[in-house]
Structure 1
Amino acid sequence: MEQGSSTVEAARIGGINLRTGKRWRNGRHSPPKGKEAVPPVGPEEPPPGPPRYLNEVDRIHIADRLRPDP
């Protein structure tokens, strides 16, 4: 849905029921007695720490140093 799909289309692509897709999007509004409410699904945050791959600037720097001088 973040990419512009409708709820119906996103549920079809994900292979889930439309009602389930709406619940995931909106969160539950009235939890059963004795249970806490489930928050809406948000974007996942990247894990803390250094990234696994080099960024583009670092890759270009390495490639430039490996290139033979003319």
Structure 2
Amino acid sequence: MTPRPHLPGYGWAAWLFLAPALTMIAVFFFLPVLAALALSFTDFDIYALGDLHRLRFVGLGNYARLLQDPLF
């Protein structure tokens, strides 16, 4: 059995079938991961969630504090 030759111009069909799955992966995985990473560089307080103007950038301070914690 000989393989079928690659037909040019039909690659878009594969992407069309993959688009819904890739969209769901982006929305439900990558966006929350990026949001959590961005929040990890701030002094985010869950109780002050309504006032995002109170967020303060602390850089790697949260990670330094984590590494100095004896429970970690």
Measured against the shorter chain, the TM-score band is: under 0.3
Structure of greater relative contact order (alpha carbons < 8 Å, 6+ residues apart): 2
TM-score (norm 2): 0.26
TM-score (norm 1): 0.27
